Amino acid sequence: MPLHEQLIQACLDHPGALMLEVQGLGGAPARACTYAQVHAAAEQLTALLPAQAVSPRVGLVMANGPEWVVADLALLIAGAVEVPVPLAFSAEQAHHLLAPVDLCLVDRAGQARLNAWLASPAWAGRRPPAVLNVDLDELLSRDTVRARRRWTREDDVCKVIHTSGTTSLPKGVRIRSQGLSDLLVSLRRRAPARAYARSFSLVPLSLLIEQVTAVYLTLLDGGTLVFPPDSIPLLGELGGTPVALLPCLRQARPSALTLPPSMVEALLAAAQTHILEDTVQRSERLFGRARPPFMACGGAPVASQTLAQLAALGLTLHEGYGLSENSSVVAWNAPGHFKAGTVGQALDHVQVRLSPAGELLVRSSSLFAGYDGGDPSSCGVDAEGWLHTGDLAEIDAEGFITVKGRLKNVFITAHGRNVAPEWVESRYRTLACVEQAVLFGEGLPAVCGFFVVAPGWTLEAAQVAIERFGQEHLSEVERAQRLVLVPAGPQVQREGFTVTGRPRRDQIWAQYLAPLAGATGAPKGTAEDRAAPAMRGAPQPALQSAAPWATDLPAQVSPLSAQAGHAGSRGLLLLAPPGSSVQALAPAPLLSRLAQAGFVLLRGYGPTMDDFSDLVRRLSRRITLDPARSFGGQGGVAQKVDAGLDAVGLHCENGNSPFMPDLCWFYCEQGPRTGSQTTVCDGQRVWAALSAPARQAFLQQDIVYSRRVEEDKWKRFAFHMLGGAKPLAHITVDDLVAQAGDPQRTRISLEADGAIQYRFQVGAVHTTLFGDGLAFANSLLGPSYHYERPRITFADGRALPADLLAEVQQVTEALTENIDWQTGDVVLIDNTRVMHGRRAIDDPSRRIFNALSYL
């Protein structure tokens, strides 16, 4: 049965079932429509297509949503040739695909994007396409359907799909209707029954794999396709991030997901946040359902270590392999056909073999019908019908395929060593500081690596982490010995990588490396080491991703939620075994637990003040201080907490200045008889609980703290930061300015009485010390006991709206936990993730000391 007839039959079989749902910001669906409604709207739309003798080419310029699915179904029914165009395309790229079209179907977002393209010089003097606006409600309001149009397509081509080439212009891959139908039959045999009862779309539907998995597999299962709120960008769109989409997963309650590599990494980070959960608890937190969804991934290599870590947490990802030239999927790991570390076995309708050079060859009934434009990277089909994929692979005795990399990407170093870069790049991407990695080495004496550094990391710290990882985990032939580092951002992602995360190697070389080497053309030259100045004053992150949970920490571990008065906490309580002490605590496993929980309470170790100070020193790279507090014990580590008796609002230590430390420590020398608790609040949980408008407000604007600090306080601080290198009497404001770093974010001016006035700009939400997601961790609600209260505004000078602050107050109050102090307790807090405060002091005999440090 042709594909369009299968889809029509699905609509007839499930007329009242929910086919499409768009999430609302408040939890309830913003839009929803049934199979009968989508079918009726599609039939109405076919009647509006132009009358012509040959099958028309119709551009599809729309955002993800019901209108896109209606238009796609209508074009399949009518026999038109569909040309989907990503809204993220440039004007030149869009024109390249749309030049031969007869008509464009648009929604409001598509009309706005098309208008912008038409106004670009790329379209100067060129014929604009005809436009037909598609509105679901308007189509459903029509009373009768005129006779639908139906064309017979040339070569059975139903779509022209864009795919990346070696130039910035996309290739048009001609997809056949029968090929799609054969592919879907094989995929449905491989997938579990009713797996696609409820799927969730994360990337633009202009991608063929998203059409196949999110739309067609879902519709053929009689399932519901869920879209995120219109205000949240998709992956591959400007501003789209995995972290922003993670909360949508829980609301969507998906039974199936197709994840690009960037979302896989974000999912692992989110899954590891609460390591004590069982699989049901983890699934409910991440996906809003007791059983994890059926998850597929592909498009670019995913590190086997990442997949293994997810599997250990009860989250199995079914990695596959495909290319547009085979209508998407070639091979797939699925239940009953699964082998970790491979991309699975070929689908039933697909044959595979290796060429003498190790290139993967594919022959199937779903092969494409050719290209719309030539490109040096185009895949050829030989006389026997074998598609030369350009991918190096291995096939084991059971038919499982391991893809090693692109044949054209293998480089030979000046020393004659062959390197396939994709596997090495996937290893580097397991680092928390690395968002993307691309290696070059053709003819070079050493491998050159281009690294996109994740938000929240300085380039200097990332360079250290990358070099250390290479030394410890990669051979001398594989590891990057010359580094080019750039901060993450939409421009580098858009220009250097495809939506699925594959690097545009020639463009990266030409734009980022060749200018440094004085080279042009293909990446045959080398590049000098490059790292921009670090954002001094920002928290220094850990130089390695958090280690797995160690078993050599001598403590009994339980979540604070298991203790009375700590319901819902994500912190950990580590009870000391008899006779143990803090001196026996190994740094690595303790920090690993901190990475998972955000804060850790050590109880029963009986440390002295000096024991506490020694522990802080052992786990810290550098100690800092609050200049308004006095020291206790030896060595200038612990400071007496003295902030009166009133309650203290949630804050990060030094969070309203450019000197926010990584770690915040507390030591209880004398526990209170009653009350007097310290409070803690996990900023990751706060960020997940805030409404979408609140999150959007904090993502769009940084926060600015402005205030005055007396001369003795800032001089003491600068003296300490300099390690006593200058006498206190010789400290000047220039010393403080040098320590503050980035002059764009921190401005310091000296006043006549020796005090300073500073203005510090920083995000209210940011990535955390261990790189495991965004946290709402700041000092918006915090104290100013020893200092002038800061003025807090948005970066543009506007005051924070009262309703926004009220929501922050309400959410943080709901998530705040108490630490009920006992004498000898030690608390370690990730100061980049967890805010802390204090209840009112009921027992003034309580004695708490604090330490601040960088990891």
> Cα 146 vs. chain centroid, distance in angstroms?
47
Q: How far apart are CA 813 and CA 805, in angstroms?
A: 12
**Cα three-residue angle 25-27-30, rounded to 5 degrees:** 65
| pLDDT band per the 50, 70, 90 thresholds, residue 236 | confident
Which residues have C-beta within 8 Å of that of residue 254, sequence separation ≥ 6?
198, 199, 200, 226, 287, 289, 293
Point out the least confidently predicted range of 160-174, 392-406, 759-773: 160-174
Instruction: Return the axis-axis angle of helices 261-272 and 242-252, rounded to nearest 10°.
Output: 70
Q: What is the mean pLDDT of residues 656-684?
A: 89
Distance CA 798, CA 800 (A): 6
**Residue 806 pLDDT greater than 80, yes or no:** yes
Question: Can you list the pairs that 419-425 forms with residues at least 24 positions away whose Cβ atoms lie under 8 Å?
Answer: 419/447, 419/477, 419/478, 420/392, 422/301, 423/301, 424/474, 424/478, 424/479, 425/301, 425/503
Question: Does residue 331 register a pLDDT over 50?
Answer: yes
CB 753: neighbour CB atoms within 10 A?
8
- Cβ distance 272 to 218 under 8 Å? no
pLDDT at 743: 65
Name the band, by pLDDT with cuts 50, 70 and 90, for residue 259: very high
Q: What confidence tens digit (pLDDT) does each residue in 10-40 have?
A: 999 999 999 999 998 766 789 999 999 999 9
Could you give the 3-state DSSP secondary structure of residue 561? helix
pLDDT value at residue 709:
86
Triad 696, 263, 561: Cα angle to 5°: 75
pTM of the model: 0.58
| 716-750 confidence digits (pLDDT tens) | 777 766 666 677 788 888 877 776 666 667 888 88
AA identity, residue 142? R
CA dihedral 304, 306, 310, 311 (to 10 degrees): 10
Asked if pLDDT for residue 516 goes beyond 70, the answer is no
125-173: pLDDT as tens digits: 778 889 999 999 999 998 766 666 678 777 799 999 987 654 456 788 9
Tokens representing residue 467 in the block:
């070099």
Domains of the chain (ranges; CATH) run 3-405 (3.40.50.12780), 412-517 (3.30.300.30), 556-682+818-854 (3.60.130.10), 685-813 (3.60.130.10)
- Which runs of E-coded beta strand occur in 731-831? 746-750, 756-762, 765-767, 774-776, 791-794, 817-819, 826-830
Q: Nearest CA to 555 among 572, 578, 575? A: 575
Quote the tokens at residue 125: 């003097």
Q: Which spans in 553-639 are helix H?
A: 587-597, 609-618
Highest mean pLDDT among 317-326, 466-475, 587-596, 624-633: 317-326
Average of pLDDT values for 253-269?
A: 91
Q: To the nearest 10°, the Cα dihedral for 364, 366, 370, 371?
A: -130
Categorize the per-residue pLDDT at 540 as very low, low, confident or very high, splitting at 50, 70 and 90.
Answer: very low
Which one-letter DSSP state was computed for residue 309?
H
Share of the chain above pLDDT 90, in %: 41
From 177, 133, 156, 150, select the one nearest 52 (Cα to Cα): 150
> Residue 166: helix, strand or coil by DSSP?
coil
Model confidence pLDDT, tens digit, residues 454-496: 887 888 888 988 998 888 788 777 889 888 999 887 778 777 8
Residue 156 CB: number of other CB atoms within 10 A?
17
- 62 and 16 Cβ atoms separated by less than 8 Å: no
Q: Please, which residues bridge with residue 161 across strands? A: 173
Q: Encoding tokens for residue 497? A: 């990588």
Instruction: Report which residue type is found at 316.
Output: T
Spatial neighbors of 582 by CB under 8 A, at least 6 apart, are: 602, 605, 607, 611, 612, 614, 615, 826
pLDDT of residue 592: 73
The C-alpha angle with vertex 424 and arms to 420 and 426, in degrees rounded to 5, equals 120
Is residue 98 over pLDDT 80?
A: yes
Beta-carbon-side half-sphere exposure of residue 316 (alpha carbons within 13 Å): 9
Lookup: tokens for 775: 């946290």
> How many other C-beta atoms are found inside a 10 Å radius of the C-beta of residue 725?
9
Q: Are 847 and 670 in contact (CB under 8 A)?
A: yes
Give me 712's structure tokens: 């003795």
Q: What does the mean pLDDT of the chain come to?
A: 83
- Single out the residue of 437, 364, 426, 423 nearest to residue 394, CA to CA: 423
Task: In whole angstroms, give the CA distance from residue 364 to residue 554.
Answer: 58
Residue 133: closest CA among 149, 116, 114: 114
What is the number of residues in the chain?
855
Kindly tell me if the per-residue pLDDT of 850 is higher than 70.
Answer: yes
| Number of neighbouring beta carbons within 10 Å of residue 810 | 12
What is the number of helices (H) and of strands (E) in the chain?
25, 43
Instruction: Retrieve residue 241's tokens.
Output: 């991030």
Per-residue pLDDT band at 564 (split at 50, 70, 90): very low
Per-residue pLDDT, averaged over 167-195, amounts to 90
Any residues with CB less than 8 A from the CB of 119 and at least 6 apart, and which? none
Identify the sign of the CA torsion 52, 56, 59, 62. Answer: positive
How is residue 525 written in tokens? 């030259």
Mean pLDDT of 211-223: 97
Helix (H, G, I), strand (E, B) or coil at 805: helix
Six-digit token string for 352: 């595979």
